[in-house]
């Protein structure tokens, strides 16, 4: 029986840090938006992927060991962000995540075996399966347990 894996987007497969750097360098963006970059119009439209994420997720998919889903949070005050995230997934993964996208501020309510997430926010810390704490923790400025996608693949394959 396949195990269920939920994958966060920002900071896990999408390089949101790149977008934040662009916003901070843009003098036309208001200081209050720089403090809340996820509210900037079109910030989720076409950010680059995290290094290794696309290939790693395709390997997980091709292994046929997992049911893969996206579990992301979209800022309530930026409703276009959900559309942009959905289009981004199709651009990089074609149909792998078609109708397999959960948008939630309560990841603790998801039922599955693994959650790959870079933060403890939005219920991730209380996820009932195993949290694979991924990437750079920009809040604490330290690396999480799983620094990159190679480490995730070693754990799951």
Catalytic position from the list 10, 15, 38, 117? 10
Give the list of residues 6+ apart from residue 49 with CB closer than 8 angstroms, or none.
13, 14, 15, 92
Query: Is 8 among the catalytic positions?
Result: yes
Catalytic residue among 8, 15, 38, 117: 8
Closest CA to 53 of 122, 118, 130: 118
**CA 116 – CA 70 distance, rounded (Å):** 10
Beta bridge partners of 66: 3
Backbone phi and psi for residue 137, each to the nearest 5 degrees, phi listed first: -90, 100
DSSP H or E segment with residue 53 = helix 53-63
Active site residue 108: no
Catalytically active residues are 8, 10
């Amino acid at each position: 029986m396949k195990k269920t894996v939920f994958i966060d987007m920002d900071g896990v497969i999408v390089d949101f840090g790149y977008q934040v750097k662009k916003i901070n360098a843009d003098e036309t963006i208001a200081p209050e938006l720089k403090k809340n970059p996820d509210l900037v119009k079109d910030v989720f439209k076409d950010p680059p992927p995290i290094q290794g994420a696309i290939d790693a997720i395709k390997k997980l998919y091709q292994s046929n060991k997992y049911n893969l889903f996206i579990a992301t949070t979209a800022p309530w005050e930026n409703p276009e962000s959900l559309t942009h995230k959905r289009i981004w997934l199709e651009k990089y993964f074609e149909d792998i995540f078609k109708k397999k996208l959960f948008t939630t501020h309560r990841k603790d309510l998801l039922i599955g075996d693994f959650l790959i997430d870079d933060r403890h926010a939005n219920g991730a810390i209380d996820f009932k399966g195993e949290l694979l704490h991924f990437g750079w923790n920009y809040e604490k400025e330290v690396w999480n347990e799983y620094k990159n996608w190679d480490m995730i693949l070693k754990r799951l394959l």
